[in-house]
Amino acid sequence: MKLFRFGEIGAEKPALLDADGIGRDLSAHIADLGPDQLAPDALAAIAAIDPSRLPVVPEGARLAPCVGNVQRFFCIGLNYIDHASEIGIEPPENPIVFMKICDPTGANDPLMLPKGSTHTDWEVELGVVINQTVRHVSEEKALDMVAGYCVVNDYSERDFQNNHGGQWVKGKSCDGFGPIGPWLVTRDEVADPQNLDLWLDVNGEVQQRGTTARMIFTVPQIIAHLSRFVTLRAGDIITTGTPPGVGMGMRPQRFLKPGDEVRLGVEGLGEQCQTILPYKE
């Protein structure tokens, strides 16, 4: 299934795409698409609903974050061999883990640059959404802990991230730095998360092209590693790293400015588009 949420901030409703690509409102059946709706039995109940009996989502409705009530973003850094190479860092021996602590935004919501930002960068990533409480899971069983997958743009303010001491989180967590969606694509529709193409363009110019086959640590390895140290919960999102082509890796470097348009997508998971706005108090 392709599940999503629509509506303005504070009034989001759950929905699904039917076989013809038409959005269908699920709000008469489930309160939201959040942690309580991600368990296997809950998703099975949604799959049993006849979409033709559901109201059509209004044309032009805002695409909200595809999962509601997200509490935690776990992020994996430098997880593509060619991305580590472009910024001159040796591939890590273990997953580099950091957090985003911003609220997710919709796939096509505009991004207002942070106050004082000079180095806001883009990163297309495969997002993994957890479906249950997970502790010490093996790699062999790790994918059973996945509700589905989504597109994530892991926006990063590189000056905040690298030049002010402390951890990366401060450059990863500005308002608007976590677009997710448009859809949550359930696990059964993704045959192999290690065989998906990713892409990102800025103002129509190719920036990132990659494949999850180039990940250093696979999705099962990442889930098993995280669950060794942290109890994962339903609704947690894991962003799994970005392929080469980020602005920080260019010579000369390139960063986002007001008026830029960022388009990105992951094979089978849909596309996003964000317009960059100047900071405004």
pLDDT in single tens digits along all 281 residues of the chain: 999 999 999 999 999 999 999 999 999 999 999 999 999 999 999 999 999 999 999 999 999 999 999 999 999 999 998 777 777 778 889 999 999 999 999 999 999 999 999 999 999 999 999 999 999 999 999 999 999 999 999 999 999 998 988 888 999 999 999 999 999 999 999 999 999 999 999 999 999 999 999 999 999 999 999 999 999 999 999 999 999 999 999 999 999 999 999 999 999 999 999 999 999 99
Distance of alpha carbon 48 from alpha carbon 70, whole angstroms: 25
Distance of alpha carbon 121 from alpha carbon 118, whole angstroms: 9
Residue 65 lies in a domain: no
The pLDDT, as a whole number, for residue 167 is 85
Beta bridge partners of 186: 148
Instruction: Please indicate, yes or no, whether residues 123 and 81 belong to a single structural domain of this protein.
Output: yes
The pLDDT, as a whole number, for residue 88 is 74
Q: Are 126 and 212 in contact (CB under 8 A)?
A: yes
Instruction: Please indicate, yes or no, whether residues 168 and 108 belong to a single structural domain of this protein.
Output: yes
Residue 242 lies in a domain: yes
Please give the residue range of the domain that contains residue 29: 2-53
Instruction: Please indicate, yes or no, whether residues 41 and 92 belong to a single structural domain of this protein.
Output: no
Residue 117 lies in a domain: yes
Query: pTM to 2 decimals?
Result: 0.96
Task: Calculate the alpha carbon distances from 18 to 35, 62, 106, 117, 257 in Å.
Answer: 22, 18, 20, 41, 37
Instruction: Please indicate, yes or no, whether residues 206 and 234 belong to a single structural domain of this protein.
Output: yes
Query: E strands within the chain?
Result: 2-6, 13-17, 23-25, 73-77, 96-100, 111-112, 120-121, 124-130, 146-153, 156-157, 184-186, 197-202, 205-211, 237-239, 261-266, 270-277
Q: Are 33 and 22 in contact (CB under 8 A)?
A: no
Residue 62 lies in a domain: no
Closest CA to 161 of 113, 116, 119: 119
Instruction: Please indicate, yes or no, whether residues 223 and 256 belong to a single structural domain of this protein.
Output: yes
The pLDDT, as a whole number, for residue 193 is 98
Question: How many domains are there within the chain?
Answer: 2
Residue 6 lies in a domain: yes
Residue 94 belongs to a domain with what CATH number? Answer: 3.90.850.10
Distance of alpha carbon 26 from alpha carbon 24, whole angstroms: 6
Q: What is the dihedral of CA 59, 60, 61, 63, to 10 degrees?
A: 120
The pLDDT, as a whole number, for residue 211 is 97
The pLDDT, as a whole number, for residue 169 is 93
Instruction: Please indicate, yes or no, whether residues 130 and 211 belong to a single structural domain of this protein.
Output: yes
Instruction: Please indicate, yes or no, whether residues 46 and 135 belong to a single structural domain of this protein.
Output: no
Burial (Cβ within 10 Å: 0-12, 13-18, ≥19) of residue 30: middle
